[in-house]
């Protein structure tokens, strides 16, 4: 039998000040999380700085790679800074005034907005339909899932080159259409500015379908199967079940896909560069806002980082505005 030893009489509220027997804990011990000898562990975990300590790496990364560049861009937009450095002078709102009267800026804005307006709805719906198709566990369905996902893994440059080859005047698409007697002369996919823009959108969609299909596959798992069964028994067809059960069931995922695609669409660059070359299509007619930022802000010889930053801020405002608008519309619909 263990020998009884004298214990301190517990006093309410005294645990915070009661010194532990033995030597005083080291500074490291005191800083490190976890209960010190004799101390109440829960109290230690309530130290105000502990959450900050755990989140410090993430906050550090966010500040260095997100917050700082953002504020730096904001500040630069009021200057005439050059990409090669040197003294930057404060120019007030000059860059923003110039932007409002710059026809090339508005052309790039039109292209970016158009890109988002066409790509976002398609990117929200098409991968969902694809996910519904491949959701069922049929023999060989894994092959189709993998096949649809493959473009996601391919490099944008490789995909762009493949599409160039497909869409050339003597490429696969025109050759097939001509052989099928659907067209007489080649469709100028790569020399007409509207067709270049539409082809670039097609490329974005094709490359993104597989990625968002995986999102939806995960979301579809949460849609109760009983609802489908009940609706089917009540005579609802596949299309009706899709619109009234599947779509509401994955609404949150659709919202996420819409937001991500919207942001991505407004930032599109590679597709336009691959299909429209360094000018951004003939006459630069297919340039999007990131393309325009590269031209006016980043060129080492003639770039104006201040003006480029002002256009970047406009792009940010546009992205934020469209995202908030989409959220509001969704909320109104839900209400």
Partner 1 sequence: MRAKRLTGSVAGVLVLVLTAAGCGLSGGSGGGGATAGGCKVDQGNVGSGKLTGDVKGRITFQTTNLKKDFGSFFNGVIKDFEKAHPGATVKWIDDPGDNTFTTRTVADAQACTLPDVINLNSETATALTKAGYLLDLGVKDPDVAKPFVPAFWKSSTMTASSGATVHTVLPWYTGGIVLTYNTDLLKKAGVDTSKSPSSVFGLFADYEKVAKAAKGAYYATMANPVWRIPADWDQMNIKTLSDDGKSAVFANDPRTVQWVAWMAKLYKEGAMPKDSLSSSNDPSTLYSQGKVAYGSTNPSFVRFVKQNSPSVYAKTGVGQQPFDSLGHTTGAPQYISVAATSDHAPVALAFAEFLTDAENQTAWCKDPNVVVFPTTTASLDDPFFQNVTGNDPFSDARKLVAEQLKTATAYQTNLSPAVQNAIVAQVQLAMQGKKSAAQAVKDAQAKANELLKQAG
The site for partner 1 (CB under 8 A) is made up of 48, 52, 59, 63, 67-68, 71-72, 74-76, 79-88, 164, 167-169, 186, 188-191, 196, 275-284, 295-296, 298-304, 307
Q: Which two tokens stand for residue 44?
A: 């230690």
Enumerate the H helices of the chain as residue ranges.
Answer: 27-31, 41-45, 50-62, 68-76, 94-100, 103-135, 141-153, 156-167, 172-179, 193-220, 225-233, 238-241, 247-249, 251-266, 270-276, 289-293, 305-334
How far is it, in rounded angstroms, from Cα 135 to Cα 243? Answer: 16
Minimum distance from residue 61 beta carbon to partner 1 (Å): 13
Q: Which is nearer to partner 1, 5 or 278 (CB)?
A: 278
CB 211, CB 145: distance < 8 Å: no
Minimum distance from residue 120 beta carbon to partner 1 (Å): 26
Q: State the Cα torsion 200-202-207-212 to the nearest 10°.
A: 130
Q: Which is nearer to partner 1, 151 or 306 (CB)?
A: 306
Q: Which two tokens stand for residue 102?
A: 């710059």
Q: Which is nearer to partner 1, 104 or 229 (CB)?
A: 104
The CA distances from residue 284 to 100, 102, 250, in Å, are 19, 14, 40
Minimum distance from residue 305 beta carbon to partner 1 (Å): 10
Q: Which is nearer to partner 1, 71 or 143 (CB)?
A: 71
Q: Which is nearer to partner 1, 210 or 303 (CB)?
A: 303
CB 220, CB 292: distance < 8 Å: no
Q: 332: which residues sit within 8 A by CB, 6+ positions away?
A: none
C-alpha 48, offset from chain centre: 33
How far is it, in rounded angstroms, from Cα 85 to Cα 73? Answer: 14
Of 284, 282, 288, 280, give the one whose Cα is nearest residue 318: 288
Minimum distance from residue 46 beta carbon to partner 1 (Å): 11
CB 228, CB 249: distance < 8 Å: no
Minimum distance from residue 317 beta carbon to partner 1 (Å): 19
Q: Which is nearer to partner 1, 80 or 135 (CB)?
A: 80
Q: Which is nearer to partner 1, 87 or 335 (CB)?
A: 87
Q: Which is nearer to partner 1, 114 or 166 (CB)?
A: 166
Q: Which is nearer to partner 1, 54 or 243 (CB)?
A: 54
Minimum distance from residue 31 beta carbon to partner 1 (Å): 18
How far is it, in rounded angstroms, from Cα 205 to Cα 270? Answer: 13
Minimum distance from residue 160 beta carbon to partner 1 (Å): 10
How far is it, in rounded angstroms, from Cα 211 to Cα 204? Answer: 11
Minimum distance from residue 226 beta carbon to partner 1 (Å): 46
Minimum distance from residue 333 beta carbon to partner 1 (Å): 35
């Amino acid at each position: 039998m263990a020998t009884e030893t004298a214990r301190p009489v517990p006093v309410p509220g005294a645990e915070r000040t009661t010194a532990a027997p033995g030597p005083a804990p080291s500074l490291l011990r005191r800083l490190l999380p976890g209960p010190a000898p004799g101390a109440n562990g829960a109290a230690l975990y309530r130290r105000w700085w502990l959450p900050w300590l755990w989140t410090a790496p993430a906050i550090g990364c966010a500040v260095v790679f997100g917050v700082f560049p953002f504020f730096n861009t904001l500040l630069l937009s009021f200057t005439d800074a050059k990409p090669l450095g040197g003294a930057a002078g404060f120019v007030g709102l000059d860059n923003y005034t110039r932007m409002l009267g710059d026809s090339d800026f508005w052309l790039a804005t039109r292209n970016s907005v158009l890109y988002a307006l066409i790509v976002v709805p398609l990117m929200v719906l098409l991968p969902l339909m694809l996910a519904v198709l491949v959701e069922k566990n049929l023999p060989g369905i894994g092959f189709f899932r993998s096949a649809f996902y493959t473009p996601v893994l391919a490099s944008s440059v490789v995909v762009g080159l493949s599409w160039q080859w497909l869409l050339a005047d003597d490429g696969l698409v025109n050759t097939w259409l001509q052989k099928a007697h659907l067209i007489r002369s080649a469709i100028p996919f790569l020399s007409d500015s509207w067709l270049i823009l539409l082809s670039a959108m097609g490329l974005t969609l094709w490359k993104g379908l597989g990625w968002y299909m995986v999102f939806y596959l995960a979301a579809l798992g949460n849609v109760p199967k009983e609802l489908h069964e009940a609706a089917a028994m009540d005579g609802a067809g596949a299309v009706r079940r899709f619109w009234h059960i599947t779509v509401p069931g994955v609404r949150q995922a659709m919202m996420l896909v819409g937001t991500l695609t919207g942001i991505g669409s407004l930032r599109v660059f590679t597709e336009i560069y691959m299909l429209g070359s360094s000018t951004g299509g003939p006459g630069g007619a297919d340039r999007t806002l990131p393309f325009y930022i590269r031209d006016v802000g980043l060129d080492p010889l003639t770039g104006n980082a201040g003006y480029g930053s002002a256009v970047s801020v406009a792009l940010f405002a546009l992205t934020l505005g469209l995202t908030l608008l989409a959220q509001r519309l969704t909320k109104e619909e839900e209400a």
